[in-house]
């Protein structure tokens, strides 16, 4: 009887912390596991500028098109960097799926954990201090509390 596939969900973004978390997952967690699926999740924030710009900009459509192109280029860049890490670490025996979500990162990540039946969520952390975490909030703290699987928060050295 074949073992159930183990799903690792790694939240990636443009930060060096998330790329290090991906590297850490591939080098530290995955080698000790067989039958692995690696889900790379990038979350685009909901564009708040649409309604702001619409309130008085004559070039509304051009600005929206430029911002949409920027968002697509950013996604491509992040996924390319993540793909380069996977290639460099020779992950040919691992199924890799790339997913793009949109919305509030903490909600999208926790929903993706459920949807993809993740066995482990791996995330980087920006290591904000107490006051910045209190003002901005911490996606990794939220996911550690509410994700329906074990969460590994990797601190960049």
Question: pLDDT confidence of 4, banded at 50, 70, 90?
Answer: confident
- What pLDDT does residue 104 have? 92
CA pair distance 113, 149, nearest whole angstrom: 7
Higher pLDDT, 38 or 138: 38
Domains detected in the chain: 6-155 (3.40.50.620)
The answer to whether residue 132 scores a pLDDT higher than 60 is no
Kindly report the pTM of this predicted structure: 0.83
Which tens digit of pLDDT belongs to each residue from 39-59? 999 998 776 555 455 555 555
- What is the mean pLDDT of the segment spanning 101-121? 96
Question: pLDDT category, 14, cuts 50, 70, 90?
Answer: very high
The per-residue pLDDT for 130 is 59
Alpha-carbon dihedral of residues 140, 147, 4, 79, nearest 10 degrees? -40
């Amino acid at each position: 009887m074949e073992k159930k596939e183990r799903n690792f969900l790694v939240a990636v973004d443009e930060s060096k912390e998330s790329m290090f978390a991906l590297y850490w997952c591939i080098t530290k967690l995955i080698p000790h596991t067989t039958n692995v699926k690696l889900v790379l999740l990038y979350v685009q924030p909901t564009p708040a500028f649409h309604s702001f710009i619409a309130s008085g900009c004559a070039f509304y459509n051009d600005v929206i098109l430029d911002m949409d192109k920027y968002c697509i280029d950013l996604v491509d860049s992040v996924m390319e960097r993540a793909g380069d890490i996977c290639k460099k670490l020779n992950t040919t025996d691992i199924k890799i799926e790339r997913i793009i979500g949109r919305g509030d990162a903490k909600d999208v990540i926790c929903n993706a954990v459920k949807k993809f039946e993740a066995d482990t969520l791996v995330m980087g952390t920006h290591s904000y201090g107490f006051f910045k975490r209190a003002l901005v909030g911490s996606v990794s703290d939220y996911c550690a509390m509410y994700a329906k699987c074990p969460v590994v928060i990797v601190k960049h050295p």
